[in-house]
Amino acid sequence: MKAVVDPDLLASLEKFGVADGAACFNCGTCTAVCSLSSEAAAFPRKLVRYAQLGLREKIMQSPEPWLCYYCGDCSETCPRRANPGEVMMGLRRYLTSRYDWTGISRLFYTSKAFEVLSVLVVAALVGAGFYAFHGPVVTERVALNVLAPNTVVERLDLALLAVLSLLLLSNAYRLFQAVMGNPSPEQRPDSGGRQPSLLHGIPLRVYLQEAKELAFQFLTQSRFAACGTKSQRTQWYVHLLVMSGYSIVFLLVVVGLRWFQTDKLYPLWHPVRLLGYYATFAILYGTTYAILGRLRKSRAAYAHSHASDWTFLILLWLTAFTGIAVHAARLLAMPLATYLLYVIHLMIAVPMLLIEVPFAKWTHQLYRPLVLYLVKVKGNARQS
């Protein structure tokens, strides 16, 4: 099969954060030091080479960018300072934009103006919608559920969830098609005999057998702990902490809003209040850790921040912070301050979800375990 060469690929990857790939002289040191690279899936040298040669489709079909958790060991040891870890990160951004059929992801990653504008526009729409449709404003006491009845907010949450799932899963399906490729002639069913159900030339039962791998990797991202020769565990713990935080917020807001957004104040030991405190602490701690790391450039993975990294961290941090502010205003029995902070909180949280989940940084949460799963499925199919 002929490989299509895109001579401008390396230049166009620059906007996705691939800055120094051209300096690579293909020595292979990076692959030798990478603790996650294996014989079956060797990286990052191969991917840097693909980028240099303009092999766009090869990059599209490669699972390797998603197998890297960016410990930065390869960048620290590269004799040419080609920054292979950042090349892998940039390729993940590039691939995210290629999987996205709407084109929003590409605009978001390649244009700072679009990035800022999209957040501002969604925030303005949320603010305007709230202004136009809010309920009565009670000023004698805090009555958030009168201003924004939780039955209405619940329906809006579900609508948002449906839109996000549709976008994210349709993009994930494009990833699936790219990574699985076309079945080879020997994988295609022949005309005789009873054939098993096939998906991309692989029996469905193989996909089902490995489904637990997908769930396990999605929930734990356990390969993160094995990334890097230095202490990467802290990084993994922080990642788990943030993940547990926003998973709890998700459950509280989508499934348990009627208990979470009430006008009665729960006692301190109440499970809903404790879960809310834990989730806020987890998100604030994790995002502050990452923001400080990026400001100090404390490790190779934090040395080069793309604009989208900052947008994600700042939006997530502000979402947690304004959530605390709403709660504090409620505790202090300040109705107008509570309402105002609540609207500001939504004006930050909704753009963060709407943009980050299907189009930007959050996607790796699904794409990484999905690719690990597909690699395992392919490996098992090959063996059997």
- What residue ranges bind ligand SF4 (CB under 6 A)? 24-30, 34, 36-37, 43-45, 48, 68-74, 78-80, 82, 84-85, 88, 227-228
Instruction: Specify the residue, 43 or 339, whose C-beta has the smaller distance to ligand SF4.
Output: 43
Nearer to ligand SF4, 18 or 88 (CB): 88
Rounded distance between C-alpha atoms, residue 60 and residue 124, angstroms? 36
Q: How many CB atoms lie within 10 A of CB 57?
A: 16
Shortest Cβ distance from residue 221 to ligand SF4 (Å)? Answer: 13
Nearer to ligand SF4, 76 or 356 (CB): 76
Residue 225 sits at φ, ψ, to 5 deg, of -65, -25
| 271-296 and 233-250 helices, crossing angle to 10° | 140
Smallest distance, ligand SF4 to C-beta of residue 77, A? 7
d(CA 221, CA 218): 6
Minimum gap (Å) between residue 37 Cβ and ligand SF4: 6
CB atoms within 10 A of CB 206: 19
Residue 258, CA atoms < 13 Å, CB-side half-sphere: 4
CB nearer to ligand SF4: give 209 or 365. 365
- Whichever of 21 and 351 has its CB closer to ligand SF4, that residue is 21
CB of 60 to ligand SF4, least distance (A): 18
Pick between residue 81 and residue 155 the one whose CB is nearest to ligand SF4.
81
Cβ 32 to ligand SF4, closest distance in Å?
A: 8
Cα 334 versus chain centre, distance: 36
Identify the residue whose tokens are 């839109």.
Answer: 163
Q: Characterize 85-107 residue by residue with b for buried, 16 or more Cβ atoms within 10 angstroms of its Cβ, and e for exposed.
A: bbbbbbbbbbbbbbbbeeebbbb
Residue 231 is classified by DSSP as -
174 CA to centre of own chain: 16
Q: Least distance (Å) from ligand SF4 to the CB of residue 286?
A: 20
